[in-house]
Structure 1
């Protein structure tokens, strides 16, 4: 699709003005003409919260990228609780005792250099608690048992995509999952009803009219809900409301997103859209959110706010290596659960300078929000997923990551995916990476996602059940991607993901080989493939732009 076509769409949707030229004014005009993405970047700067193809993912990561990752002070040393770190003693109980000692006040559990043999789960139930080693390669957590043998046998293959040997999860959610046999709601818990949204709100808004603003206070994290009605209009909206959404067979191809049509035990997770968000201000008849909405809020979807229930907040793991006992990679969906850190109902948490070796699955997120995974590696034997992002996880940032090629071949009947997103997830970013695998989607309409500044040997495969709906929703942006083996699978999405942009994807010859979910125009674009890219990292440029705008506005207000 040509440049003139997609620019005309943008002008129609934004009222016909293009701004932001001054931001790029310092660049030489001739150089801009040669660089791919410059025109789209200018369009984004004109309207960052409502651009039809490029999502504003500048809010991704810990506290929306507005604060650096913290370094809470060391409160306890795990050796004081009996841990030996000698590679032979079972240090599981000692480590969990040290964590529990910080349950009330938070702080850091320090793990001095050593090899800590573990035969059970390290439970991170408490907010404000950090596990900190002495550095990668100096402090090693060696897991000698899997979730299946150390915790419980899986009831429905759940360790193939959830759960971790270091598991950030509120105790109340864990108890509920255990009571239900890990069926039903896996993620965000809500509390009391706060207020209903009183009129239509369009994507990109921050001011939300509500029935009772007195129920809110600035700084609160609340849960924004919107129901998925029988006409599947919310699902169509997540797919950009392109013409093909009117003929897509939602009742058969997306049964798993409609609890009334399926017996799938996890359908409850998709009966409504769930988006945790912080309140910035309270007005007479409205609240102001700390970030713009990612979807429209229409009366037919009954948009409303509820109090956010228990969540693990401001907790992390850093400066260590995680190593699993090596086994042969099992068949697909038979993972015993040698899984790395998993963040579930986790808010503003992080993993920093952590390597995971020989896992079934590397890092996982289930209903997480504002989690940063920074300077991380997933390597060693063949695995199922390196990164899992599922069940309404939002604004996650994986930055400076590495996934080297597996040291063992893919097992018989096994599957490898790569960096995964699925299930109403949005605002998520993979930035500055070198990887083996693919840009996986497991269906259920992930949307508003960016992969940028990544070099990839495209060896993995996408997944997902045929009744879980479309693989891609609206506004997938792949920006400055180098493919080293010529394969387009999961990466060139211009004929598959609605209102999306493939910018500066180098080393491929055509679109992905997937079957198309939607007929008719998708309004997606490919821009100047195999060229240089400006900006080189879309996420970082977006964050710089937003923080600059905010600082300028604050300065003007002070004057």
Structure 2
């Protein structure tokens, strides 16, 4: 029998944040030399990468929820834990785009993969314990595959990929790929092209491709690349919005993540994914409570995948129980917000491990926030296959693992995390011949753990940032090498550097999310109390996706709703005129 939890989900989320540092600063808090108090020490060329655009719609918009609704129960689903409801779910998904598909309270038996290949489809349950999807067959049984690990062990591709809810589309690059005609530096805001037809407001995709000498890989690893198979050829991309289009020059909305060299045959084309605004929310996934057979023995009890061809999609408020893996996110600007992993005791393998990968990012500019691991996976969170500009924030785990799985993950962030015991923080996998565990720019900021950590020597890379971690040893601040600031974990401001960067980028204008909630700052100056009892005076400016925007001294800043005391949470919802979540 599959386990059901008697603790309310809202309680679990609240408990996970009691130990987290709030965004209210104290006199004892310290600042990083990479950021300062409010970003005054940061520039686009800084060794601290820009993470401000991670997540759905770059953190600027509320989720786009379709107005037309359809219920799986209207199409024959029973939700009684016995009847196979697969066909009702497939009919709902096939009803076309622009649908909010409601999955009322119940336990729904499903025996096949659910594929979403069109935009603006949202699957919404009544809560992770109220709406539960019971998949009875793994992906290996539904769509058998053969694969091998990096050292030749036979296994299934679903050991590290695939989802029983699969969201995909066609390649997002559209039109002619135009060559870049002049070199540029990391942090630059301009690209030079020959004649083009791009205009202000277009989204464009910059792509660079490695040479036979692997000079791009050498650059991404800042000259310290190791273990490179001659067949490993790197391609790296970045998406921009065009803010100005001249005859031969594009001005971009953010700095380049990398140098642009002509030897890497850089090109620019339109970025226009055909599958966007797909959401999976407010539901649980439960899989059979079978004993976990171990690493690479997984058969595909995986809840969700977003392919590399989707953008601006989301997963929120879900529970994964007895999963082989969690979500695989390969797209662009996607968000996983509020996810809990757990397992029955009979599921556990040696050492309490119950699965392979938790949340895996292989795409770019994605965000995973508000996560809880009440079990251990071999790899709790993973960056792999060139994952770039992704963020993991505001999470809790028993003994957290930040897996860097080789293949040049670049400039990824881990911030404001309770890592529990901290005995396996940097334990990482990956196939031979795929380089170091990570390329440059990996940043670890405000990671709290019981045990102290050492620099991850097995990464064989110096170009990383470790700020406010429990470290053995002293500060190291080498401009082009290692960077360690031994600020007390939990004693740094800002505690979440991603949110601070988002706030800085949106400074000077009201965030779109806030303006969608209220027309103007409401209620005058109010007293706001943090969850640990500290107060500030500020004016309410909006509530969206459980983020409160406040105005103080003419500046806006963002506070996660869970960081506020209950009475201040109620005040924010009242001023927003509702719950604050679409």
Q: Same fold (TM over 0.5)?
A: yes
Is the contact made by 2:365 and 2:391 (CA closer than 8 Å) also made in structure 1? yes
Aligned to 2:483: 525
Aligned to 1:63: 57
Aligned to 1:471: 437
Which secondary structure does the structure 2 equivalent of 1:334 belong to?
Answer: coil
Query: Is 1:73 equivalent to 2:67 in the alignment?
Result: yes
Aligned to 1:145: 137
Aligned to 1:282: 245
Inter-CA distance 546–521: structure 2 relative to 1 (3 Å threshold):
closer
Inter-CA distance 110–190: structure 2 relative to 1 (3 Å threshold):
same
Aligned to 2:46: 51
Aligned to 1:537: 496
1:261-285: per-residue Cα shift (whole Å, max 9, x none)? 33xxxx6xx5422334443442222
From 419, 422, 426, the counterpart of 2:384? 422
Inter-CA distance 47–417: structure 2 relative to 1 (3 Å threshold):
same
Aligned to 1:6: none
Is the contact made by 2:66 and 2:122 (CA closer than 8 Å) also made in structure 1? yes
Is the contact made by 2:210 and 2:216 (CA closer than 8 Å) also made in structure 1? yes
Aligned to 2:287: 324
User: How far off its partner does 1:329 sit?
Assistant: 1.4
Query: Is 1:488 equivalent to 2:458 in the alignment?
Result: no
Hey, what's the Cα distance between the residues in 2 that align with 1:284 and 1:551?
32
Hey, what's the Cα distance between the residues in 2 that align with 1:135 and 1:465?
38
Aligned to 1:347: 311
Inter-CA distance 549–449: structure 2 relative to 1 (3 Å threshold):
farther
User: How far off its partner does 1:311 sit?
Assistant: 4.5
Aligned to 1:376: 339
Hey, what's the Cα distance between the residues in 1 that align with 2:90 and 2:437?
39
From 71, 82, 86, the counterpart of 1:88? 82
Hey, what's the Cα distance between the residues in 2 that align with 1:343 and 1:165?
11
Inter-CA distance 278–84: structure 2 relative to 1 (3 Å threshold):
farther
Is the contact made by 1:81 and 1:98 (CA closer than 8 Å) also made in structure 2? yes
Hey, what's the Cα distance between the residues in 1 that align with 2:486 and 2:452?
18
User: How far off its partner does 1:207 sit?
Assistant: 2.3
1:371-426: per-residue Cα shift (whole Å, max 9, x none)? 01111112224010111112xx11111111111134xxxxxxxx711110122211
Aligned to 1:438: 401
Hey, what's the Cα distance between the residues in 2 that align with 1:312 and 1:238?
30
Which secondary structure does the structure 2 equivalent of 1:533 belong to?
Answer: coil
User: How far off its partner does 1:524 sit?
Assistant: 1.7
Aligned to 1:20: none
Hey, what's the Cα distance between the residues in 2 that align with 1:154 and 1:135?
36
1:316-346: per-residue Cα shift (whole Å, max 9, x none)? 1111111112222133222100012111122
Hey, what's the Cα distance between the residues in 2 that align with 1:144 and 1:334?
18
Hey, what's the Cα distance between the residues in 1 that align with 2:184 and 2:160?
34
Hey, what's the Cα distance between the residues in 2 that align with 1:150 and 1:219?
43
Inter-CA distance 87–65: structure 2 relative to 1 (3 Å threshold):
same
From 187, 198, 212, the counterpart of 1:230? 212
Is the contact made by 1:36 and 1:503 (CA closer than 8 Å) also made in structure 2? no
User: How far off its partner does 1:500 sit?
Assistant: 2.0
Which secondary structure does the structure 2 equivalent of 1:288 belong to?
Answer: strand
Is the contact made by 1:59 and 1:291 (CA closer than 8 Å) also made in structure 2? no
Hey, what's the Cα distance between the residues in 2 that align with 1:522 and 1:277?
27
Name the TM-score, length of structure 2 as normaliser.
Answer: 0.74
After TM superposition, list the pairs within 5 Å mapping 1:179-194 onto structure 2: 188=171, 190-194=173-177
From 487, 494, 498, the counterpart of 2:462? 498
CA RMSD of aligned residues (A): 2.7
Is the contact made by 1:372 and 1:398 (CA closer than 8 Å) also made in structure 2? yes
Aligned to 2:415: 452
User: How far off its partner does 1:535 sit?
Assistant: 1.0
Could you tell me which runs of 5 or more consecutive residues in structure 2 were left unpaired when the two chains were aligned: 1-23, 149-155, 348-353, 512-553, 555-582
Inter-CA distance 71–190: structure 2 relative to 1 (3 Å threshold):
closer
Greater RCO (Cα-Cα under 8 Å, separation 6 or more): 1
Name the TM-score, length of structure 1 as normaliser.
Answer: 0.77
Could you tell me which runs of 5 or more consecutive residues in structure 1 were left unpaired when the two chains were aligned: 1-25, 173-187, 256-260, 407-414, 512-519
1:57-81: per-residue Cα shift (whole Å, max 9, x none)? 0110011111122333242111122
Aligned to 2:153: none
Query: Is 1:397 equivalent to 2:355 in the alignment?
Result: no
1:285-320: per-residue Cα shift (whole Å, max 9, x none)? 222333322111111111102344754211111111
Aligned to 1:181: none
User: How far off its partner does 1:203 sit?
Assistant: 1.3
Higher-helix-fraction structure: 1
User: How far off its partner does 1:496 sit?
Assistant: 4.3
From 228, 231, 234, the counterpart of 1:254? 228
User: How far off its partner does 1:37 sit?
Assistant: 3.3
Hey, what's the Cα distance between the residues in 2 that align with 1:498 and 1:59?
25
From 359, 362, 382, the counterpart of 1:387? 359
Hey, what's the Cα distance between the residues in 2 that align with 1:495 and 1:85?
48
Which secondary structure does the structure 2 equivalent of 1:42 belong to?
Answer: coil
